[in-house]
Amino acid sequence: MVRNHPNKIKNEDTLFPLKKTLQVKGKLYRLDEPWVMGIINTTPDSFYGPSRVSVDQGQVIERAIQMVAEGASILDIGGYSSRPHAAHISEQEELNRVISVIDTIRKALPEILISIDTFRHKVAREAVLAGADMVNDISGGELDKKMIPEIGKMGVPYICMHMKGTPDTMQQLTDYENLENDIMFYFSNKLAQCKNAGIKDVILDLGFGFAKTIDQNYHLVHSLDYFSTLPVLILGGVSRKSMVYKLLNCTPAEALNGTTALHMALLIGGVHILRVHDVKQATETITIYKQLYT
């Protein structure tokens, strides 16, 4: 059982660079090194099968404890698959999939940070009440206009991702006047919305694989320093995605090596949080990155 989060800031520690801190429910955390966010899906149709868990309490606890032991600082719980053409589920079904899992993890691991992966404000609210610490929204509030105001009311960090359209339509929406400028404009507007809603901590996710071609995804990796001027944390989610397995002509199950290579590129580019299926390998990548670059 994790008793103390290793990066929790003591009361006497007060001054740290903005990009290196995260405030969660009155506690301030320092990111002295990149963090790993472990993916736990309660969906039967997520694109990578081994990331799925049932709502069985024993299986949930086992997976969560393993990820924390391997170095995860955050566990991201999702109950609605965002892969193209995934089955639509009701709000109640999504709640049924995630609330008991969050409750189980919170009781077993009281100090671990938990994220709820949802674009619905009601699911976000219920998840936070059940013990989640932050909200990870693939739509940046576009699929539910009440999301950003709700986050402001709850006072939790908000992970805001760039996407156009919906998971069903995004692959037809890959035209940009200028990829970096368009995404920067999107985030500038979102940060203003978040500020107006009273959200104190925003984490930005460039949305690799969402409304972007393979070439555009890698162009963004190459251009990460363009977004480093933003006074926020940056999250990178590339784990076993099509930008890896399609490029390498393999399957998601065979995409770990490519994912690890890409994780190193993200770290070099300045990403603060890696969202991953394979925590141990991501943690090892961070260790090597630190040896080389810090």
Which amino acid is located at 78 in the chain? Answer: G
The span from the CA of 230 to the CA of 234, in Å, is 9
Q: Is 275 a catalytic residue?
A: yes
Distance CA(41)–CA(169), nearest Å, equals: 22
Active-site position among 106, 107, 275, 280: 275
Residue 176 near residue 93 (C-beta atoms within 8 A): no
Contacts of 262 (CB under 8 A, 6+ apart): 221, 238, 243, 244
Q: How far apart are CA 84 and CA 167, in angstroms?
A: 5
Instruction: Name the β-bridge partners of 158.
Output: 135, 202
Residues 6+ apart with CB under 8 A from 209: 217, 237, 238, 241, 242, 243
Structure tokens at 280: 């141990």
CB 131 within 8 A of CB 114: yes
- Alpha helices for the chain (secondary structure H): 57-70, 91-108, 121-130, 147-154, 179-197, 214-222, 224-227, 242-245, 256-269, 279-293
Name the catalytic one among 241, 246, 280, 290: 241
Q: How many CB atoms are closer than 10 A to CB 228?
A: 13
Please confirm, yes or no, whether 122 is among the known catalytic residues. Answer: no
Short-list 200, 186, 203, CA closest to 115: 203
Distance CA 221, CA 223 (A): 5
Give catalytic residues, as residue numbers: 241, 275
